[in-house]
Amino acid sequence: MIFMPENKKYANLESIIHPRSVAVIGASENPDKVGHIIMGNYVDGGFPGKLYPVNINSTGTIMGIKSYKSVLDVKAEVDLAVIAVPAAIVPAVLDECGRAGVKGVVIVSGGFAEVGNVDLQNEVEKVAKRYPMPVIGPNCLGIMDPRSRNNTLFLPSFKIDKPKIGGISFASQSGAVGSSVLDMINHEGFGLARFISYGNAVVVDEVDILNYLMHDKETKVIVFYIEGVKRGKEFMEVAREVTKIKPVVIIKGGITEAGAGAAHSHTAALTGSYQAYEAVFRQCGFSIASDLKDLLNFAKIFSTQPLATGNRIAIVTNGGGTGVITTDALYKSGLKLATLSKDSETSLRKVMPSIVNIRLPLDLAGDADDKRFGDALNAVENDDNVDAIVTIALFQTPGADSKLAESLIHFGTQMKKPMVVISMGGSFTQAHKAIMESAGLPVYGSPSEAASSLVALIDYSKYRGKIL
């Protein structure tokens, strides 16, 4: 059953996310125009549905496809219209979409309340309310859905890496933040379910997007960048419901007075007190990121690892010093170093060389290979005193190679306890980091990043009642 926020009909975004037909209004043969880039995304991306380029100056075809002077001239059902025309004529074009029976609209055009043109934005809202169609924007990038090859972003394909298909959905009030994170998601090796950039949120806002993603079967983790919330009460109601089902990682822009002013000129967002927002986020079970790196790190662990049953952490390493630093990072983050059970100590003593001290952090020594790591991980995985595992793999050492990466992938993707990897180094390390992350194993570049990500996972596990 879909949760209905009070005083607002739930915005059905299916026609916007998974359209079978798309009209690009403002489509152009001019490669410098936004409408040309958007059309190119659909054509080059292999969109399987119908495409209807619309331009009032059309002479018959655009990019080899029959074009129209108005969406009203399209004598077929249009699921999604992407509006990329000058701001002044957006209300008239939106009205044509409504009269044509378009099911959903994305307005990428800017030049509204974010630059002080409040009256024009109010006109857009007034027109939108005449028709039963959800409208995303204005002043946004819109939608990217890799499954349906729906892509309204006006970003040239050669400038942004397209993420693979996955389970993370990212919603962003800012298009710039959105495009940067999309690039970073691909670089980090995990996949995308949906991307929604919603800009000034004249019609579809945070509540509608959270509600949609809560019920979206492909979305396993929700990542959100917001600058302000328009409907506080409804937002809290939906937030409490969504975190019962799946984790939400959130970062808020405009937490300082200067940042709040920048946010208002960016998306016309009313940012409000950050302390109030933070209190609401924590009450609703959100994982709060302090920067974009946190945002990605938290998303990585949520999308790949099971919930935790406690905060006792085992550290397995092939470098003693890094084990010490990681222990410090865990304790500074409020986590605990686990203590091995007697059975684990006995089993490890049987398989480890005499130079290995059988205690946590477990230093396997600089010559440790995939077998020694495997024996260690098998023991701590089955130790009831251990709730989660940090494995430090320094690929500069003699025994660390591709076999070690394969072994870590096996344990990190099969065990029922959370496991993260810390791996620091240059090109050889980065190559193996990419292999591990492409297989679904979260790898971090520092002990502090791993610790903060584990804290996010453990805090959410507590919220979900997995930890008493």
pLDDT digits (tens, 9 = 90+) for 82-134: 999 999 999 999 999 999 999 999 999 999 999 999 999 999 999 999 999 99
Q: Give the separation between CA 80 and CA 325, rounded to whole angstroms.
A: 52
| Containing structural domain, residue 56 | 14-302
Residue type, 95: D
Q: What is the mean pLDDT of residues 436-454?
A: 95
pTM across the whole model: 0.90
Domain presence at residue 53: yes
Indicate if 312 and 297 belong to the same structural domain: no
Indicate if 291 and 322 belong to the same structural domain: no
Distances (CA, A) of 412 to 304, 432, 439: 9, 14, 10
Residue 149 CB-half CA count within 13 A: 15
| pLDDT reported for residue 268 | 47
Indicate if 165 and 271 belong to the same structural domain: yes
Domain presence at residue 379: yes
| pLDDT reported for residue 190 | 78
Domain presence at residue 87: yes
Indicate if 312 and 285 belong to the same structural domain: no
Domain count within the chain: 2
Indicate if 210 and 146 belong to the same structural domain: yes
8-state DSSP, 115:
G
Residue 11 has pLDDT above 90, yes or no: no
Distances (CA, A) of 68 to 28, 40, 55, 57, 170: 11, 17, 6, 9, 33
Looking at residue 429, which CATH number applies to its domain? 3.40.50.261
Q: Give the separation between CA 369 and CA 366, rounded to whole angstroms.
A: 9
Q: Give the separation between CA 143 and CA 136, rounded to whole angstroms.
A: 9
8-state DSSP, 27:
-
pLDDT band at 158 (very low <50, low <70, confident <90, very high): low
Indicate if 436 and 291 belong to the same structural domain: no
Name the phi and psi angles at 192, rounded to 5.
Answer: -110, 135
Name the phi and psi angles at 105, rounded to 5.
Answer: -135, 140
Q: Give the separation between CA 239 and CA 283, rounded to whole angstroms.
A: 9
Indicate if 217 and 365 belong to the same structural domain: no
| pLDDT reported for residue 59 | 87
Q: Hey, how many other C-beta atoms are within 10 angstroms of the C-beta on 113?
A: 22
| pLDDT reported for residue 262 | 47
Distances (CA, A) of 450 to 203, 284, 305, 375, 459: 39, 24, 13, 22, 14
| pLDDT reported for residue 183 | 82
Q: Give the separation between CA 192 and CA 212, rounded to whole angstroms.
A: 16
Pairing relationship of beta strands 150-151 and 142-145 according to DSSP bridges: antiparallel
Q: Give the separation between CA 190 and CA 301, rounded to whole angstroms.
A: 10
Domain presence at residue 277: yes
**Do residues 185 and 168 touch, judged by C-beta distance below 8 A?**
yes
pLDDT digits (tens, 9 = 90+) for 257-315: 544 444 444 444 445 577 889 999 999 999 999 999 999 999 999 999 999 999 999 99
Residue 441 CB-half CA count within 13 A: 29
Indicate if 83 and 151 belong to the same structural domain: yes
| pLDDT reported for residue 187 | 75
Domain presence at residue 3: no
| pLDDT reported for residue 273 | 75
| pLDDT reported for residue 255 | 55
**Do residues 65 and 74 touch, judged by C-beta distance below 8 A?**
no
Of 254, 271, 302, the last residue of a domain is 302
The residues, ordered by sequence, that sit 6+ positions from 31 with a Cβ below 8 Å of its Cβ are 37
Helix, strand or coil, per DSSP, at residue 294: helix
Q: Give the separation between CA 401 and CA 432, rounded to whole angstroms.
A: 8
Domain presence at residue 8: no
**Displacement of CA 430 from its chain's centroid (Å):** 22
Written as six digits, the tokens of 331 are 């304790």
Residue count (the chain): 468
Indicate if 230 and 321 belong to the same structural domain: no
Alpha helix (H) residue ranges in 29-174: 34-44, 90-100, 118-128
Indicate if 154 and 194 belong to the same structural domain: yes
| pLDDT reported for residue 194 | 96
Residue type, 62: I
b/e sequence 311-333, b meaning 16+ C-beta within 10 Å: bbbbbbbbbeebbebbbebbeeb
**Do residues 80 and 38 touch, judged by C-beta distance below 8 A?**
no
b/e sequence 236-274, b meaning 16+ C-beta within 10 Å: bbbbebbbeebbbbbbbbbbeeebbeebbebbbbebeeb
Domain presence at residue 5: no
**Do residues 441 and 412 touch, judged by C-beta distance below 8 A?**
yes
Indicate if 57 and 83 belong to the same structural domain: yes
pLDDT digits (tens, 9 = 90+) for 23-35: 999 999 999 999 9
Written as six digits, the tokens of 127 are 């027109």
Of 262, 286, 302, the last residue of a domain is 302
Angle, vertex CA 155, rays to CA 151 and CA 156, nearest 5: 100
Average pLDDT, the chain: 91
Domain presence at residue 423: yes
Residue 228 has pLDDT above 70, yes or no: yes
Of 270, 302, 334, the last residue of a domain is 302
Residue 434 burial (10 A CB sphere; 0-12, 13-18, 19+): middle
Indicate if 347 and 453 belong to the same structural domain: yes
Candidate from 182-196, 286-300, 331-345 with smallest mean pLDDT: 182-196
